[in-house]
Structure 1
């Protein structure tokens, strides 16, 4: 009997850089950010946002008529900050500086003075803009909320040679998947390479994996999964991911939960509450996370994930083609909604962005890149 062709063959992270390709790190960065602190949004309907947040598994630390702070169960500041605005918009990420001296070093390089954050957050921040226009804060001394009780602490799993649960059943109730912490943010930029280099130089981030359009490796990468450089201490495979596209925009954000059981149970809860699953459940290739993607009421894509890869500073970037089949080791095929090709308002907006980018010479998205992008959903 013939063996089925493995569509994932050659797509895992086993291809190194070719001579002259991007090294994936800056030789002398200004600072080395230690992690992603939070994301900032504006939305017109905070009660609706708060209701979805509760279903998704966040815990509020502040909820007023004008502002909503959402945290995970692990110690730290809130991981999402939503302020009331006339329309739904992503404002930008905030990163942790290693210490106050690093923040001052970045301030001097950028020529931007540190400013105090509101009392509800504490600490100080340097606020800049990356080349794609996203507002980027680098913070020090922000509030650290203590850990919350772990909803999975009493759960026990039986393995073949290590039984942990005997004469006892597993009956976890259907409930929101308790978010532990923020994991990563994915941004699209029509100045991808310029924006990537900005983060590597100013925040000391390093690339875990590069992707290139099929047949266009010689033109360079079009997506990068980027981690914090913590030296010998392992860090998430990616804290930031950057991808080339016709516009500068938010793509999705991801939040860690304890395990597959929590993720799947939380997904059933979200489905029962009438929320829209974009894609899942599956396991990614780059990063290896078990994933489940949902749309919030404003259309923002948010991800539950568990069991992601951890890399230290010694690993060099992997290189692979960007293909729809290369997005997951297992799980359902990537949906039209996740790929951005589902007919509707979002896809029409992207079409308008393509036309605008092609008509404007001062960006990296040209006709050849468009042809490469069009190959991705069917590759």
Structure 2
């Protein structure tokens, strides 16, 4: 019998022994804001500009999206799960990423955030309706916080396959023949951004949107200078949320890195990848399983060279988990699968060289030591 004075056994830390050191060292970033202004529920959608909506729609259908609405000036895409549309592609002269929209829990959250930032809540006069508060993060990325957007009913899902595993026979006298078809996108999972102002931008999202850090990465030998990447989830209290809804890392070329979309299972992901390859699209990296977040992943380039990911089987964390800490490295991006490709990590180019020289001349968190550490991490 345990006495009242006997301490309760410690809850095992899910980071320990996997990929991260146990917890932060004294005075390191706590991974959350003490008094956030609001707590967003999820990513609502991402917005892009592309010159050819017909080509964008063709790839979207091949990748597994469903068209929710189409106008001469915009394409609205959704997944099979209930909720708002998850992608908006606007017609414009050149391809670019506009920014993310996050879903507020309550209409009053928009007013509270507007009062804290000195901005105004506006009506969305387009497909889906609702209200939006439009801000800029410290890196200059437009960020929308929305509420009241029309939610779509669920579509028939792509059911996960029934598997025979070990001593469990779930499938008798029934061959397994998954068709080579597009992997149906279920929902938007996460967005990854690069920034030259990592700490300031991270703190902005934690303070204004109430996000929580699941994992920090730091450069080898430079942990005392603070983290250089964060995997960030929504704070839904005891309700679990994706390991990361937003991830950001320090880098000389700021902006969009990739976005990820959930599919039913490994077979859907793999068969969908085969379908994309047959249609002439180019795989960037995959198939493998990530370390931070544990997702099975498959990365592709769309016709405008944006990097997009199919994923399945990601981690879910509630609000109690503290951040893990680990050194950043290319080999640390996956538990299994092929090595990270040069295309995924960033192919050297004149544009990247110009961005790097620009970053080194500006007042930001990129300096020669940081840059050398980033180059070492991506080649290790």
Tell me the TM-score range normalised by the shorter chain. over 0.9
Question: Post-superposition shift, 1:246?
Answer: 1.1
Paired residue for 1:137, among 131, 144, 149?
Answer: 144
**Match of 2:302?**
296
Question: Post-superposition shift, 1:164?
Answer: 1.9
Asked if 1:318 corresponds to 2:324, the answer is yes
Runs of 4+ in 1 over 4 A off after TM superposition: none
Cα distance per residue 1:253-304 (max 9 Å; x no partner):
0000011011001000001100010000000000000000000000100000
CA distance in 1, matches of 2:17, 2:203: 27
**Match of 2:91?**
84
- 8 Å contact kept, 1:11–1:321: no
**Match of 2:45?**
38
Cα distance per residue 1:217-276 (max 9 Å; x no partner):
011000000000111111000000011011321000000001101100100000110001
CA distance in 2, matches of 1:217, 1:145: 45
Question: Post-superposition shift, 1:370?
Answer: 0.6
Cα distance per residue 1:17-64 (max 9 Å; x no partner):
100100000000000001000000000011001001011000001122
Identify if the C-alpha distance between structure 1 residues 14 and 218 changes in structure 2 by more than 3 Å, giving closer, same or farther: closer
- 8 Å contact kept, 1:73–1:150: yes
**Match of 1:350?**
352
For residue 208 of structure 2, give the secondary structure of its aligned residue in structure 1.
helix
1:219-238 correspondence to structure 2 within 5 Å: 219-238=225-244
1:1-379 correspondence to structure 2 within 5 Å: 12-152=19-159, 155-340=161-346, 342-343=347-348, 347-360=349-362, 362-379=363-380
Question: Post-superposition shift, 1:121?
Answer: 1.6
TM-score, normalised on structure 1?
Answer: 0.94
Q: How many residues align?
A: 365
For residue 294 of structure 1, give the secondary structure of its aligned residue in structure 2.
strand
For structure 1, the 5+ residue unaligned runs are 1-8
For structure 2, the 5+ residue unaligned runs are 1-15
CA distance in 2, matches of 1:249, 1:156: 40
Question: Post-superposition shift, 1:215?
Answer: 1.0
- 8 Å contact kept, 2:158–2:264: no
Question: Post-superposition shift, 1:10?
Answer: 6.8
- 8 Å contact kept, 1:247–1:353: yes
CA distance in 1, matches of 2:21, 2:239: 22
Superposition CA RMSD, Å? 1.3
CA distance in 2, matches of 1:306, 1:166: 26
Question: Post-superposition shift, 1:167?
Answer: 0.9
TM-score, normalised on structure 2?
Answer: 0.94
CA distance in 2, matches of 1:202, 1:166: 53
CA distance in 2, matches of 1:72, 1:243: 27
- 8 Å contact kept, 1:40–1:90: yes
CA distance in 2, matches of 1:55, 1:279: 18
